[in-house]
Structure formats: C-alpha cells, structure tokens
Amino acid sequence: ATDDILTHDFCRIQDRHFVRTVMLLPFHDIESCLILGIWVHLDKPSFDQFYETYPSGEQRAMDMQFGWIANIIPGYQGPHACCIQPRDGFKRPIIHAALEEDALYGLQLDGMSFEMLITMLEEYGHTGLSDQTG
C-alpha cells in the first residue's frame, strides 16, 4: 500500500511533501493584486502539521513555516525559498519570497505593472493578450 495522496490542498508523493498556497502580487497604482495558486515543497514535519490541523480550520496559531516554491513562475527563474504564513478558516496559506536577492521578493514589495502582468499571462500560455491591449 502507498501513502501517496493528492487533494486540492495537499500532495504527498513518496518522500516529497507539498501544500497548496497563494502568493499575492500587488499592482502598481491599484489597490488590488494578482493571486497565484502555488504548490510549496516543505519538510515532512511541516507538511504533517498542516495536514493534521486542516480539518479544524485553525492553522493561524502555527509558526511561520519555510519551504520552496514548486511551480515555475514565468520570468522568475527558481529555485525560490519562501516563508509560509498559515491562516484560519480553511484559507490557503500565504507565501512570501524569503530572500531579498530573489526577484520575487522585490516583486512582492514593489508590485507589478499592467505590462508585466500581460507578459506573465502570455508566458503562462494566454496568447495574444498584448495584441488586444494595444
């Protein structure tokens, strides 16, 4: 029997452990942000703590966790270390780039322009957007 699992929020494949999180990327001059769904690779004790506390919906009391972004983020070559901020109410944890020298760290602080958003979306495979926006 295998202990592998895959749900909307958790993935365990052999000795690798992932939690689904969100990364908030603010925009320049707009009080809004792009929300990316991100899988984060973390150690077994951290994964187990998320997994075991999930049914209660109360995770905010957990300590900040550390992990590595498992997704490819177009335009931002990895690897990316991140801090994982647990939240209550069955909300996915928020992640923050952990290292100041990481370009994602600056992007989370400084925000992105509309042009940067279009470029990122096109690199994700949404083609023709720049043609439509002028």
pLDDT on residue 131 = 66
Give domain limits for the chain: 5-133
Torsion of CA 52, 56, 57, 60, to 10 degrees: -70
Q: At residue 126, does pLDDT exceed 90?
A: no
**54 DSSP assignment:** G
- Extended strands (E) in 1-130: 5-6, 10-13, 16-27, 30-42, 65-69, 81-85, 94-97
pLDDT on residue 121 = 83
pTM: 0.85
Please write the tens of the pLDDT for every residue from 76-107: 888 999 999 999 999 999 999 999 999 999 99
Please write the tens of the pLDDT for every residue from 6-40: 999 999 999 999 999 999 999 988 888 989 999 99
**98 DSSP assignment:** -
